[in-house]
Amino acid sequence: MLAMSKIQVGAHWVACADCGDWYDPTDVPGCKVQRGLDEITVCANCAERLGCKRCDDCNEWFEERDLRDCGGDYYCEECQGNNSWYECYCCNELIHSDDLREGADNNNYCDSCWNDYFDACEHCGEVCYSNDMIVRHEQLVCRDCAERYYPDGDFKPAGFRGRDSYTRMTSRRKFGVELETSYCDGYMDLDGDAAWGAKDDCSITGKEFVSDILYGDAGLDAVERLCDFADSNGWEVNSDCGYHAHFDMRDESADSMKAIALAYILTYEVWGDYVDERRIGNRFCKPNRADSTTIYGITSWRRFADYSDRFEWINFAAYYKHQTFEVRMHEGTLDGQAVCNWVRAHAAFMDWASAAGWAKVRNILLCKDNAAKADFIAKVWRDAGCDDLPAYYKNKACVA
């Protein structure tokens, strides 16, 4: 604390409007604070007592919460930028520009977050998402280099053609499935399969099996055929593996996608009860940054998707490339029933939110607790003709 005078020492000294002590404003300027409807100027001692602090660059007073710790110096927002301190796009920690690293998405990251998500191709040097890279001949390379210089057992679906039958898959929404494995002996026998392709993923020791665009009961049948093949060949998954499901948004309006997005933001914890607890907060399926206000304010879904984080549990970034929303929360599985039920559950929920619209989704879900939200989702499933899902997921929630 600064020593203050009880009496006026110079003609330019002023009295603090709070404690009444005199101080020299040319030495340490007074701080303006709000008292009721009035703005008063107080001395440095009173300013600090009232929770104010001076910016270490411009020396102006600010509420302490408005100053940011920049390597031990505390700067206001303007001085923070003037001194080249910026937030890491992932963890929001303030990092000097000299120490920031650019990611594959052109955003800036601290070293720790950059190492979590990115790597440089050992062949061409391009920075890529680690999850998109491939190990070839003990080198970590991007997919372009892998396909050009190190081809090794990847293949694409030959082309799925189903029937318009929707008895079990009651939703007409098209979908896609990605199943990661830790061991997949004999997978090359699937080369040429209508529904399934295989590709490398550096985050797993097996292959990732990626479906064509699927729909209807035939799409579920294709999932179960793959899972039966996996079971017959002793395929395995481990804690590094995930199951990702894509859902078609091509027939949705901008407003109906907002309603779907809001429904998911408001039910995150309910869906979390239906998966392995290790998936909650997992860096490959993080909670969404966007809140309801952000979603409501979207003017261009492509622009919003382009700037979204693809590793959020509801991956809106998938819309930019595939015109889908991707659900990334589920743990790795080769259980055909688990894979199909997850598709049916989300397709029915998305159909409901799309038809309900923003206001109805908000009014129904906003003030409910998690138990009431789970009950309502179960009703959505029953109304959609998926009468088996409420009991199935109630049991999963109990096990989790």
Map out the domains of the chain as residue ranges. Answer: 1-50, 175-399
Please give the DSSP secondary-structure letter assigned to residue 207.
P
Q: What is the pTM of this model?
A: 0.70
> What's the pLDDT score for residue 328?
97
Separate counts of helices (H) and strands (E) for the chain: 14, 22
The pLDDT of residue 1: 45
Buried b (16+ CB within 10 A) or exposed e, 10-35: eeebebbbbeebbbbeeebbbbebee
Q: How far apart are CA 268 and CA 370, in angstroms?
A: 9
Strand 101-102 relative to strand 85-87: parallel, antiparallel, unpaired? unpaired
Over residues 69-92, the pLDDT tens digits come to 888 888 988 898 888 888 899 888
C-beta of residue 319 within 8 angstroms of C-beta of residue 243 = no
- The secondary structure element, H or E, covering residue 395 is helix 389-399
Name residues of the chain where pLDDT drops below 50: 1
pLDDT of residue 150: 63
- pLDDT tens-digit map of 356-369: 999 999 999 999 99
Q: Is 13 helix (H, G, I), strand (E, B) or coil?
A: coil
Report the pLDDT value the prediction gives residue 346, as an integer from 0 to 100.
98
Residue 287 DSSP SS3? coil
pLDDT computed for residue 97 by the predictor: 87
